[in-house]
Every structure is written in structure tokens, then in C-alpha cells.
């Protein structure tokens, strides 16, 4: 009698799907959280990249003498990268509110004395770099990943007005 009950128990398939789902559910939740974390990281990086690109484009149109960026234009470009406005304002990302994390420099000054390109004899290539800490949704903290910095760089040749 006991053997029949045991045999019947092992052959019974009622509830098998629930047991299988209970075994797979933690993995599915972990994968879903990982996808959300990745999407959040991509969104934050995209906002940074867009801000740095806009700052480079802005500086490419500002009047410039020689191969040096004037200080007021550099400050306006930093504000543009962080807030979306040259005058400053609310940061585009909560973790990236300091305009001093944006570096504006001249990467190279191309010699145009042969007149290959239309314009000046010195063509500066403007470089804008930014770094900001990544604010995770919690998954990276749970699994013990340390602090992550997002970095964005953009180079733009000066085209003048």
C-alpha cells in the first residue's frame, strides 16, 4: 500500500509548473532588474553625451582668436553641458550638477597655412570632456559593485560664425 502511494506521488504532475516557476522566478527577476539597470545607465550616459556634444557645437561657433577658448565661452559651454542652458539652471542629471566636472580644451590646432580649408590659418579642434558618478537603481549595490563613473568626450573643429 505504501509503495503504491509513493509511486502515485512520483507520477503525479499536478503543480509541476508552479514548482518550475518557483525555481526560475528569482533568475527572471534578477534578469529584469539587470535590464532596468542597464537601461538606466544608458539613459544617464546618453544625457551626458548629448550635453557634451552640445557644448562642443556651441564652442565651435563662438568667435575665437588664435587657438584659445575665451573664459566666458568656456563657462557658458560648461553650463550648457550640465543644464542645457548657457546661463545655468537645473541640472539635466541629479548626479551631475557641478559644471566644473566638464573640461573644455583645445585638443589640437590644425595648420591651414596652405589654404586647404576655407577660413583661418589655424583651425582649433575643441575637446569637451565630462565625468559624473553613476546613480544605480540598487542592483549594483546589492551585488557589491563599487562606484562607477560615466565619462563622455566630444571633439569638434572650430567653424566660426
Per-residue pLDDT tens over the stretch 95-113: 888 888 999 999 998 888 8
CA atoms of 133 and 96, how far apart (whole Å): 7
pLDDT tens, the chain, 161 aa long: 677 777 776 776 777 778 888 999 999 999 998 999 999 999 999 999 999 999 999 999 998 888 888 899 999 999 999 999 999 889 999 888 888 899 999 999 888 888 887 778 888 999 999 999 988 888 888 888 888 899 999 999 988 76
**Closest-CA residue to 138 (of 37, 49, 45):** 37
What DSSP character marks residue 90?
A: S
Could you state, in order of their start, the residue ranges of all structural domains in the chain? Answer: 15-157
CB 44 within 8 A of CB 135: yes
Q: Which strand (E) or helix (H) includes residue 52?
A: helix 16-61
Eight-class DSSP state of 110: E
* Cell numbers at 6, concatenated: 509513493
Each residue's pLDDT tens digit, 69-99: 889 999 999 999 999 999 988 999 988 888 8
Tell me 100's DSSP state. G
Q: Tell me what the pLDDT averaged over the chain comes to.
A: 88
Amino acid at each position: 500500500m505504501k509503495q503504491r502511494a509513493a509511486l502515485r506521488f512520483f507520477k503525479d504532475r499536478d503543480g509541476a509548473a508552479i514548482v518550475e516557476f518557483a525555481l526560475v522566478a528569482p533568475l527572471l527577476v534578477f534578469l529584469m532588474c539587470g535590464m532596468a539597470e542597464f537601461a538606466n545607465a544608458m539613459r544617464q550616459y546618453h544625457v551626458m553625451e548629448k550635453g557634451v556634444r552640445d557644448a562642443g557645437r556651441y564652442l565651435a561657433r563662438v568667435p575665437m582668436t588664435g587657438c584659445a577658448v575665451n573664459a566666458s565661452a568656456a563657462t557658458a559651454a560648461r553650463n550648457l553641458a550640465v543644464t542645457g542652458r548657457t546661463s545655468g539652471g537645473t541640472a539635466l542629471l541629479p548626479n551631475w550638477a557641478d559644471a566644473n566636472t566638464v573640461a573644455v580644451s583645445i585638443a589640437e590646432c590644425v595648420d591651414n597655412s596652405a589654404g586647404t580649408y576655407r577660413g583661418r590659418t589655424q583651425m582649433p579642434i575643441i575637446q569637451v570632456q565630462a565625468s559624473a558618478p553613476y546613480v544605480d537603481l540598487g542592483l549594483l549595490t546589492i551585488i557589491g559593485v563599487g562606484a562607477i563613473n560615466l565619462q563622455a568626450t566630444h571633439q569638434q573643429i572650430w567653424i566660426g560664425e
